[in-house]
Structure 1
Amino acid sequence: MANNKSAEKRIEITKRNRLQNRFYKSSVKTLIKVFLKDLESYKLSQDLKDKEKVQKILSSVYSLIDKGSKKSVFHKNTAARKKSQLSGYLKSAE
């Protein structure tokens, strides 16, 4: 239990940051799973519509990773590694 006002404020800030971090991390994980699932369907079909769908999902994953990196949810090297892996997956499917 907090004994003074600044300790109470730190508890609130920690709670806010934890929720923000959890949102970004879980959203990125979910979008990556969606991306990989759609990438598999694109590998099988080689359809132009599927490729556009995969690229759209990839751009949204990139956006979320960059926003998380800007807010210090992800380290900049971790964000770069995730983005590089995803683009590598897409290149191998083509």
Structure 2
Amino acid sequence: MPNKDSAKKSLRQDQKRAARNLVVKNAYKEAVKAAKKTIVAGSVAVDQIKEAQKKLAKAAKKGVIKKNTASRKLSRLAKFANKITTK
């Protein structure tokens, strides 16, 4: 446990930030999972891919994940969609 007041405050802030980041991370992970599930089912999931794109962009903008990470995840999702739908 921290001893100084500033360290205690820092700990409280870190816990709040971690909780907020977890909500955003779960949101984009669920969006990506839903899009992949729909793609595997065989239908074109344009709406769900757009939703995943929105969630990833928002997570990157908020600093939860890095910009390049969001870009990479979105690229892999699009590549997966193209691979499955062209078969």
- Normalised TM-score (structure 1): 0.78
Structure 2: runs of 5+ lacking an equivalent: none
SS at match of 2:2: coil
Among the aligned pairs, what percent are the same residue?
A: 26
| Structure 1 CA distance for aligned equivalents of residues 3 and 40 of structure 2 | 54
Deviations 1:50-78, CA, capped at 9 Å, x for gaps? 42xx1111111111111111121111111
* Superposition pairs of residues 1-94 of structure 1, within 5 angstroms: 1-42=1-42, 50-51=43-44, 54-92=45-83, 93-94=85-86
SS at match of 1:82: helix
- Normalised TM-score (structure 2): 0.84
Q: CA deviation at 1:22?
A: 1.4
Structure 1: runs of 5+ lacking an equivalent: 43-49
SS at match of 1:22: helix
CA RMSD of aligned residues (A): 1.5
